[in-house]
Structure formats: C-alpha cells, structure tokens
A and B are shown apart, each in its own frame.
Chain A
Amino acid sequence: MYQIVRKKVLAENIILMDILAPRVAKHCLPGQFIIAKTDEVGERIPLTICDYDREKGTVTIVTQTVGAGTKRMMSLNEGDALEDFVGPLGCPSELCEEKNLEETKKKKIVYIAGGLGTAPVYPQVKWLHEHGVEVDVIMGSRTKELLFFIDEMKSVASNVYVTTDDGSYGFHGVGTKQLEELVNNGNKYDVCVAIGPMIMMKFACILTKQLGIPTIVSMNPIMVDGTGMCGACRLVVGDEVKFACVDGPEFDGHLVDFDQAMKRQQQYKTAEGRAKLALEEGDTHHGGCGHCGGDE
C-alpha cells in the first residue's frame, strides 16, 4: 500500500497528492510517469510525476478528476493509501538527462504548458533550473480558476507568461498565440516543449513548424499496463508505430499523427462517460447515458 501523505486542492477538480513510494522517488526523472490503482476494483490510471523528494521518499501527482476512476481515487484523503503505485515508467525527458546537459545548456528553450500540462512541465523546468539552465514558460488555462503552480513555476523559470482563453487572468488567448507574439517581438527559441491536451499540442506543433522551432510533445494516450505489453497506447510517429509507455511519452511533435491519436483517445469515452454518470446518479440512474436501458 502507498500512503497519501499530503492532499491539496489546487483548483476545481484539480488535486495534488504526495504519495509515499520510496522506490519510485529514488529512481524517477522528469518526463516519466506512474500508474496508480485505487483498490481491488479500480483501474490502472497513468499519472504524471509533478515533483519528487528522494529523501522523504515521496512522489507528487496532480490529477484532474474526469471519470469515475480518477474521481474515486481523488476522494481519498491524507492517511489513506493507494493499493498500487508503479513507476517510474516511460523514458525521462531528453532535456533532463545529465548526459545531454552540455548540449541542453546551449539551447534557448520555451515550454508551453496547457491546463493540467503544468504538472509535468514543472519538474522539467525545476530540474533544468537546478542544473543551471533557465527557460521560459507559457502557462495556459481555460480560465483563471483553473490556474495552479504559478508561484512555483516563477521560482524556477526565467520568464513565466500566463494566459487564459477567456482573458480572466494574464494574456488573453491560448498559449500558442502567446508564443507567436513572443517570437514576433524578437524572442528566439531553439526548442519548444508543449505538454497539455492533445488538441493543444497539435496546434502548438502546427505553429512551431511554421516558425521552424523543433518541438517535443508528451503524449497521453489510453494505457493499461504501462510496460509495453499491450499496445493500447500505440501511436504513429513518422512512419513508425510506437508504444507511448516505453518509447515515449515524449516524441518529436512534428512527426506525431495527432488526428489518429485523438481518435484513439476517444475509444472508451462512452464506457467512461457511462461509468461517471452511473456513479454521479447512483440509485437515481435511469438510463440517461443512453446505453444501459435504465430500469429495464
């Protein structure tokens, strides 16, 4: 069992937890993820590593409750425990590996974090800061209420640009628009790292291709085992089929087939949606999902 040592609500439906998992905390690097399972009946849910403390043996995860599985997991409290917590999984970010540090130091890097993407971007920026690499970060969100980690990000990045789609805080518009403006104002970047919803990463890549900025994305397809044994997370990169859980999750964004990946992400939407409805409505669920036939 893996104890929850801290729980904090960051924004509506966005929850942070520190999990006691010394083995993961000892080995993980920015860019990697974990898979957690609440209890016997729970599903295996891939979650981003947002931070880690090797001494305390804790790993910080940030989750947005979107379906029945994450909702039940995030209803747990400090002192409760997750039944399973496995990691680190996936490859570390290439920018955050000691062996690449000299090369990385020569680059001017900009991060675009969309929504929950702030969580995986933070440990990368923090690692780079600790290794003497300063980067710019654009943090985008739908609206002011969903923003989190602004102060944390400011403490590790050289410039932080906050954007909201509705203009309720910071720059009015999406992150890519902010990037375009920065470049138009004379900022030069050698690498862009875009992490967030697939649709956001897709548009970031369309823009950076035009701007000629190589771009890394972190893919978040459906996963089951997370160790390369099922191929649920497969996606097309260039001409090759890759498993995001072992070959990624980070890929060259200009080679990823986003349309295919987005379709695959929808695969269980009905099942997930149904489960969520059934959970929310409980005994009052009468077939609103359009599938179960209600009381029949």
Chain B
Amino acid sequence: MDMMKKVPVREQDPKVRATNFEEVCYGYNEEEAYNESTRCLNCKNARCIQGCPVNINIPGFIQKIKENKMEEAYQVISESSALPAVCGRVCPQESQCEGQCVRGIKGEAVSIGKLERFVADWARKNGIKPKKADKFNGHKVAVVGAGPSGLTCAGDLAKMGYEVTIFEALHQPGGVLSYGIPEFRLPKDEVVSAEIENVRSLGVKIETNVVIGKADTVDELLEEGYEAVFIGSGAGLPRFMGIPGEQANGVFSANEFLTRNNLMKAFKEGYETPISRGKKVVVVGGGNVAMDAARTALRLGAETHIVYRRGEAELPARAEEVHHAKEEGIIFDLLQNPTEVLVDENGWVKGVKIIKMELGEPDASGRRRPVEIPGSEYEMECDTVIMSLGTSPNPLISSTTYGLDINKRKCIVASEEDGKTSKEGVYAGGDAVTGAATVILAMGAGKKAAKGIDEFIKSKNQ
C-alpha cells in the first residue's frame, strides 16, 4: 500500500445507487481498517484531537485498532462521543480532525472518520455498549430536543450519574439525524436508532411527542424539580425566498421534503405519507441540505438541478457530497438565481425564471457577493421546486421562557465555554444558539454544557 494515500473506501456504484436508498459508502472491513490505522504516526501532541470539536483521543483509539483491541478502541471513543457511528459518517472531517493531521502535509490525512465509523459499527455488531454510571447522584436534569446536542449533553450527564429526561417534539428522537439526513448517508434503523439506544442504555429517558413551550414550558420543568435544563431545540424554521409564485403547489422547503422522505419514510412501500415525485426538480441552494434534497429527488425518479447563486468554489456543501451528487447525475446550474416561480392555471409549478449572476466584491462573510447580470433572465421548465436556503431557530421556546435572552437572529444567547444562558439553571447549545451548523459542533456544545451543568449543580449543592 501507498503510505501517503488513504486506503480507499468501497462505495456503491453511482448508477445503481442513484435508484435506491441504500447507504452509498460501505465503510472499511477489518483488513482495510488495520491497514489505514498503520498510517497514523501516533503524534505526541496530536493536532487531530484539537481539530475534533469533542476532542476524541484519536491516536489512542487508532492504536487500539492496530493492536486489534476493538472493544477498547470503542471505549476510548465513547469517553468523548455519544454518536460515533453518526459522526464517522457525517462530520466534515476535512475541515476538522483530518484537516489537522500531520500526514496531510505531504500526502493524504489519515482517514479518521472512516476508522471511527469502523470501530462504532464493529461495536454495534458485537453488542458492545458504552459504560454506564455506577449509580445515580440524585439530581435531575431536563433536556429539550433529542438531536445531536441534546443526546450528547444527556449522555454525558448520565455518565456523571445524573437522572436525565429528554423531551422531544417529534415522534422519533434524533432530530436532524432522523428527519434531515437521508438514509443513503445515514441508515436510520441500523445506525441512528442503535446509537440512540446506546444513549438510553446509559439511563437517559426519552419522552417523544412533547413540545416544550406548548405542553410544559421550561419554567414549569424547573418548578417540577429539574435542577437544570439544557435547550438543544435546533434551528428548524425554514427560510423561503419571498419571490412571486413561491406558494404554488410543488414548492417545498427542503425540511418538508426531507421530513416526508426520511422521518415518514414516504419512499418506502406501505408507508402512508405521500411525497411529490417530480419529473424535473429544481433545488435552490448549495449547502449539504440542498445536496441531500437533490439526491433524494433523484432517487425518487426526477431529473434534478441544483441552482446556486455563487460558483463551484463557494458551494457550502462538503466536497464529498458535491462529488457524490455529480457522480449520481445531479446537474449543477451555478451562478444562477431564481427570481420567480412560474405557476400554471391550476396553481402548480410549471417552471422557474432564473437570472444569471457574476461574483463581485467579498462581503462581510469573506465570500464574494453574487451580482445579477442584467438582461440574462431565462425560464427553466420544472414541476417541483425545493427551497434549501437555510433555517433559523424556532421562537417557540425562547418566546415562552421567562428571562431568556435571544439575539437579533432569534438565536439563544449562550456562553461558548459552558452553554450558560441569561437564565439561571438554563443552558443551551447547538443550532438553537449558533443557527444552522454541523452535527459535531452541536455535539461539542452539548458536551460543554453538560460540564457547565455539572459544575452549576455541584456549586449549588455545596
């Protein structure tokens, strides 16, 4: 093997996978994992650990793979992460752990994500569970939202001995892992449910179908004997463009489209939730969610276009996702932006009016601002439009919690170090604080908040 290069990972053939919802990436087998593990230099001051938002002892677990001690490798990871099978699959490793790997200076970084995934999958298949606390410490904490930040915070607190209850609004825990990220990137029954079971096995209770803010409020939870509350309610409120025709039939938010498909399993025979299977679908946006929506629409049988107002280099989606989407046949219409949804006499989408763009000066975010090219408008026929323009936090919790500060973007104001909010005993983290970001950043925030909550409760009971 070439020590400068990653051991390649096996994937489903693009032509075949474009027609099914099976997982694209097969992951490493034992031999491949071993070979890849030998590429790790076991650095003393491992930079990869700093690149990981939950600071997994990466060389530590990779050494265990080298020694063929998989169970120990798993325990090393689960000291820091509650959802390794998820993170190994969906983290943008190239800008986190792998982006820091010394191997990456001259060659390719160690495939840390694929190794983490291998260990987590191995543990699941062999019935290995994370280690539980010896006993309860008698303190109760409530967690709002069963997404990545809430599950991580709950898992960490349970390991410290807290009695934790998670309240989840939907009928399934997992948050974006259940409703957002598609099956072909993150299998639901096999991976997501199993990881959530692991969190439960730590003693965490998960109550589904509870909308905090409509049923109990955060203040009521505090009155009911929970000594602290962690808010990990995410950023689930979809944005629309505000262009004419956007209310037409056949225009969906990516959240709706993906929820119907992933959470309600509309793609599967026998499930009752309907989904619009377009012939020609336009997805507006260039993030990971746009890639997920486009690749889902393609699998449901549509010719699918991504329309994005900036260029290829500015696509916010992970390079791997863009690459996968292209391989599967998604058409990219870059430097273009819809100005109107064209509607037929029955109220259905019949096309979009699109204007071409060029890149101007960099804006506040440092990205070059797209500018419309006058007179470049044209019409594209389509029967479905999926808006994937990002999401913002739902005001339901902030508006019903007395004394909880939010900023002008409706995000909860919380300390980056420990998740502390303006309200005593209330902590927050993940997309509810940052606006839409990544799974692993949310987990990192959940982790820090668990530590903050532990310190708060200990100091209060001294």
Contacts and interface: CB of A to CB of B under 8 A. Distances in A.
Interface stretch (A36-44, A49-57, A118-126, A143-151): A36-44
Interface residues of B, number: 39
The DSSP consensus for interface residues of chain A is mixed
Contacts of B274: 43, 268, 271-272, 275
Interface stretch (A85-93, A185-193, A207-215): A85-93
A23 interface: yes
A272 B276 CA distance: 12
A84 B246 CA distance: 32
Interface string A232-270: 101110000100001000000000000010011011100
A44 B211 contact: no
User: Nearest 4 A-B pairs (CB), nearest first?
Assistant: A263-B347, A271-B274, A229-B236, A230-B256
Interface stretch (B11-19, B156-164, B247-255): B247-255
Interface in A86-121: 86-89
B209 A241 contact: no
Nearest to B274: A271
A61 interface: no
Contacts of B238: 229-231
Contact of B255 (A229, A260, A267, A275): A229
Interface string B259-272: 11000110000111
B216 A230 contact: no
B396 A42 contact: no
Contacts of B347: 260, 263-264, 266
B317 interface: no
A225 interface: yes
A44 B260 CA distance: 10
Given A229-B238, A229-B255, A260-B347, A41 B270 contact: yes
Contacts of A166: none
B171 interface: yes
B210 interface: yes
Contacts of B346: 263
A230 B253 contact: yes
A46 to B, nearest CB: 13
Contacts, number: 113
B313 interface: no
A225 B272 contact: no
Interface string A193-225: 000000000000000000000000000000011
Contacts of A87: 211, 214-215
Contact of B259 (A26, A230, A271): A230
Given A86-B169, A229-B237, A267-B249, 12 more contacts: A27-B214, A43-B273, A44-B273, A84-B209, A86-B209, A88-B214, A224-B259, A229-B394, A230-B255, A232-B256, A234-B247, A263-B249
Contact of A85 (B209, B242, B252, B396): B209
Contact of A228 (B236, B240, B246, B249): B236
Interface in B417-458: none
A236 B246 CA distance: 11
B136 to A, nearest CB: 24
B208 interface: yes
A181 interface: no
Contacts of A231: 238, 240, 252-253, 255-256
Contact of A68 (B211, B236, B272): B272
A30 interface: no
Contacts of A84: 171, 208-209
Interface of A: 23-24, 26-27, 32, 37, 41-44, 68-69, 72, 83-89, 224-225, 227-232, 234-236, 241, 246, 260, 263-264, 266-268, 271-272, 275
Contacts of A227: 169-170, 211, 236, 394, 396
Contact of B215 (A23, A72, A236, A264): A23
Question: Which of A232, A241, A272, A275 has the most C-beta atoms of chain B within 10 angstroms of its own C-beta?
Answer: A232
A240 B236 CA distance: 20
Contacts of A236: 247
A53 B169 CA distance: 22
Which of A88, A271, A275 counts the most B-chain CB atoms under 10 A from its CB? Answer: A271
Nearest to A236: B247
A227 to B, nearest CB: 5
Interface string B342-361: 00001100000000000000
Interface in B224-241: 236-238, 240
Contacts of A234: 240, 247
B167 to A, nearest CB: 10
Contact of A83 (B171, B260, B391): B171
A54 to B, nearest CB: 13
A27 B211 CA distance: 11
A292 to B, nearest CB: 12
A271 B274 CA distance: 6
A44 B172 CA distance: 12
A88 B347 CA distance: 32
Contacts of A241: 240, 242, 246-247
21 contacts: A41-B271, A43-B271, A43-B274, A69-B272, A72-B272, A89-B214, A224-B256, A225-B179, A225-B259, A227-B394, A228-B236, A229-B237, A229-B259, A229-B391, A229-B394, A230-B256, A231-B253, A260-B247, A266-B347, A268-B276, A275-B272
Contacts of B247: 234-236, 241, 260, 264
